[in-house]
Structure formats: structure tokens, C-alpha cells
Structure 1
């Protein structure tokens, strides 16, 4: 049985990541906790944290808060202010190639290149989520009735990708060929970017609240069902006309968090009863990582070596699983 270093925090855990190989837990109260090796606590935002994401290209945590600030931390001990827009809530943040940072507030998305001035991208509706393409300075925003594609280094208008309904978040496939959004309804939607062809990914009994690309980008793993749903993206048509893989099926629980292993075709699956499983893609073999807890697993992240899995739950329960025991 894998060993667990357990922690208990007083607030909802928004996201978890590893900073310089130390597990870091970003809490809704605006603090960042690094409990391993002598606890460190860092105040990221006054008033509360609203959005957080690990920027793998910059090896840093990006967060936005109720204080209208976007900050970054590499080591969990010092923060760098990326932008400040007054007392406006930052509802989404994203990291991009070459040190670029994007964030959203109300009907505007903003892009801050590593070198250069902040650029505002105005929208007719609220920007719910955003993502950077893996190469070049190209950003996608998710909003009502579809997504928009911008080249923020130019003054060109956006390319519109339409689909009726509310789109809450966006992600490019690792090869840059597809854009996928999470919808308010129990579905994902996607577009093949070279021709705009639609991809409908439906059938979920609940909203998709977490997703993770596999190490080689062949699958997109998602929550929102009694099993982790993995959509295939290896072919030229992506998931169009293909059935997804289902892993870790449990008849009495729902998947609430997913995290693909950084090197192997293996997935960590968190459930609404606090259980965590590790499941291999090839043969669906399961390993129990955590028996359960008092609330749904909210967020999970692997360390670079793929040996440690950090997790955080809605109640503040958290921990680090050493899969080697």
C-alpha cells in the first residue's frame, strides 16, 4: 500500500502543485501552504483567491484574486506581481510559452508577454476561461456561444469558433491541432483548428470540472462520470466518431479530479467520497492510493519524477501519496 503524508487545512483547496519539488497547496483564503520540511505559509492575495494554475513552461504557480492582482511564485517563498487592475476579480489565469501570462476579468482577457506591455482583449460577454497554444503567442478564450482565437501581438480581430451555450474553460491539445472547451451543460465541445470542424463530447451525468492531458497527448482525461472518461486525440480527427475509454468505474461514486502521470500511460482518479485510484490505460489495472475522506477530491498533481501525488479536497483535507510506499 502506498504511504500518505496527510495534512489538514482550514479552507477549500483551489489547486495543488509542486514548486521546486515541494508540494504546494493554494487555498481559497488567498494563502499558499507548503507543509513538507517545515511549514511555510505565503499570502498570495488579500480577500481571497479565485483562480490558480500551474504553469509548466515557467515551472511556477500563477494565481488571481479578489484584489485584482495576478501573481507568480516559483519557490512558494517569494511572489512576483505580474499585473494589477484595481479592485476587479480575476476569474481565470493561464501560462503560455516564453513566459507569457494571460488572465480574465469580466468582459476582458489580458495578455502579459515576458517582454512588453499588458494588452487587453475586449469581449461582448464575460470571459470564463483562457488558454495559450503550445507554440507562438496565440490565445483562446471561452465565453458564451463559443470561443475566440487571438494573436495578441497583432491588432487583428479574433477568429470566432461558435457553438451555442456557455463555455467555461478552454484547452489546446499538446500538438496544437485541437481546441476543447468545458461547457455549462454536461459536455465538452471541440474544434479541429485547421478547418473548424466540430467535435461533440457528450453523455456525462454531471458537469466536467477537471481534465488532464496524457503524457504524450494521445488522450484527454476528464471527470464528470462514475468513471474517468478518456477521449482519444491521436488521429487526424481526434475523438470524432470514436468512443472514449472509461477507467476506474465505480457504481456508487463520481469522479471529481483527474491527473495523468507525467511519463507513463497511467491516471490518478479522485472521487467525491475522497478515494483515489491509479489506473493504467493499457489493461485498466487499478491500485488504491487512498481509501477515502470526508469530502470530494478537488485537485491532484504529480511531481516531475512521477513518484509523488499531491491532492487536495474541498474540506481542506490534503496529502502527498508516495506510490513507491
Structure 2
């Protein structure tokens, strides 16, 4: 049976990730908690707004209300990478060769490993940033679409238009598709070889979390009473296809999802704190955690694929060990 090691913290958990095998919890108050031979705390920001794991898995990138972007490694030391006074850093992304993208207001920046910073200005506010799987191509979610920059050159950006507010953005693992979360209850996407549109609608709530399955065959999303899982294995992605709905519950909404790194299963977190793990092939469900104090906000599998770290809106966090 799965076992849960709880960690009760105070406040909203923005993101939780395994960093070099160590559970990290980034809280909205600016603290980063880690379970490394005991419970340890790093004061990283005066208010934390966004976090992501660096591509090499060895550090957590965070942005705060203090205008700072920081990198925190397994030792808990928070290194300041950039600072823009009086700005709220609302999104951050990890890129190739140590590059980091971040955004505030109408501006986005890319900091390369040598410390060189390039700024990209936009007429409307930047809501999300993401690097392509290969190279320095940067996607910026904005009102009415996405702007694609080649971050290392001065070449003209590519504009992908779709009416509405796009609040988050990411590439598929193979780089063939670009997907955005929208302010309305929907996802939008483009097949990048011809910029063909993909509409993914029908959600009763906003999509606040998403996760690609192994090899990018499926995209699992929150925003409904079940995990909505779109097929991306074919040439056309989800166009003309219905999604799977996994883990339906009549009395709770899915608030977080985390696909397993090596198998076609997904951890599904709910608005009441429950966590299930569900297999795509036969929709078999296993209970990992009973309801808790608050909605699950973030989950992540470790490299051994045996542990799942989770955080919640109310700070009741922990680690699930699924080893039988």
C-alpha cells in the first residue's frame, strides 16, 4: 500500500518539485522548504509568485514580488540571477545550456549562463514564458495569442493569433505543438509546421495545471471533475478527437495533475486534497491520499518513479511512497 509522509506548512504551496532527489516546496510567502535529512527552510523571496525546476533537475528557479529571480540548489542556497526593482516576476522558464526566461508586466527577459541578459518588450502584458525542447526558441503567452522569439538573435518574431487572454504556454516534448491555457475555460493550440489551430474546449473551470505523459503521447489537464487527457500521438494531435476523462468525481474538481515519467499513468489531485493514480489503458484507480485541508496545487514524481511529492493550497504537503 502507498504510504504518506506528511509535511504541514503554513500557507499556500505554489510549486513542489524533486531537486536532485530532494522534495522542495515553494510557498507563496517566499520560503522554500526541503526535506533533506530533516526539514530545512530557505528565505528566498519577499513573496513568491512562480517556480519551475531547471532542466538539469539540480535546482529550482523562482520569481517573486521582490523583483528577483533566484536559483536554489540542493544545498538550499538561493542565488540571485536577476533583479528588476519594483517589478513582480510572474513567470519563469528553464532553457538550454543554463538559460532562464522570466517576465514582468509587458517585458520578458532571457538570461544566458554567462549572465548576458536580452530584453523583449511587448504591447500587452506577458502572461507566460516557455522554451522549445531544443534550441533558444521562446514562446510568450499574451493577450490575443503567442509571440515566438529566437532568443539568441535579433530575427523578427513570429506572431500566432487567437482572440482572448492566454495565461500560460508550453511546447509538446517533441516540439511539434504549442499549447496555451486561456482565461476562458479552454486550451488553445497550434501545430507549428503549418500553424494550424487546435481548440480544446468544454471545461467547466479554468485549466490551472497540465502535464505531458511519457514521450508526449498525452496531455493531462485540470479544470474539470475528471482529469481531461488529450491525445497528441498522431500527426494532427487532438484535432477531431475526444479526450479521455479519468478519475471522475461528482463532488470535487481536479486541481493538479502529474504524469508518470516512464509509464502511462497519471497522478490526479483534487480540490478537496484527495490524490488518485490512474492508468490510461484501463482507467484503473488507486487511492494515494485521502482528502485533506486544501486543494492540491502541485505534484511531481521523482526519478526513481516510486515517490510523488505534493503541495496544497492550505499547506498540508507531503510525499507519497508507492513502493509495494
Q: TM-score range by the shorter chain?
A: over 0.9
The whole-number CA distance in structure 1 between the counterparts of 2:58 and 2:38 is 22
Match of 1:290 in 2: 289
Q: How does 1:68-79 map to 2 (within 5 A)?
A: 68-79=67-78
1:153 aligns with 2:152: yes
The whole-number CA distance in structure 2 between the counterparts of 1:68 and 1:76 is 23
Match of 2:128 in 1: 129
Match of 1:49 in 2: 48
Taking structure 2 as the reference length, what is the TM-score of the superposition?
A: 0.98
What per-residue deviation string (whole Å, max 9, x for no partner) do you get for residues 169-199 of structure 1? 0000000011000000000000011111000
Give the drift of 1:22: 1.3
Match of 1:26 in 2: 26
Give the drift of 1:85: 1.3
Match of 1:10 in 2: 10
Match of 1:203 in 2: 202
Q: How does 1:27-176 map to 2 (within 5 A)?
A: 27-45=27-45, 47-115=46-114, 117-176=116-175
How well do the aligned residues superpose, as a CA RMSD in angstroms? 1.1
Taking structure 1 as the reference length, what is the TM-score of the superposition?
A: 0.98
Cα contact 1:68–1:88 (8 A) shared by 2: yes
Cα contact 1:179–1:190 (8 A) shared by 2: yes
Cα contact 1:57–1:96 (8 A) shared by 2: no
Cα contact 1:95–1:101 (8 A) shared by 2: yes
What per-residue deviation string (whole Å, max 9, x for no partner) do you get for residues 76-103 of structure 1? 5112221111121100000012211000
Give the drift of 1:115: 3.0
Q: How does 1:199-278 map to 2 (within 5 A)?
A: 199-278=198-277
Q: Number of residue pairs matched? A: 324
The whole-number CA distance in structure 2 between the counterparts of 1:200 and 1:160 is 18
The whole-number CA distance in structure 2 between the counterparts of 1:199 and 1:173 is 13
Q: Please state whether the residue corresponding to 1:216 is helix, strand or coil.
A: helix
5+ long unaligned stretches in structure 1: none
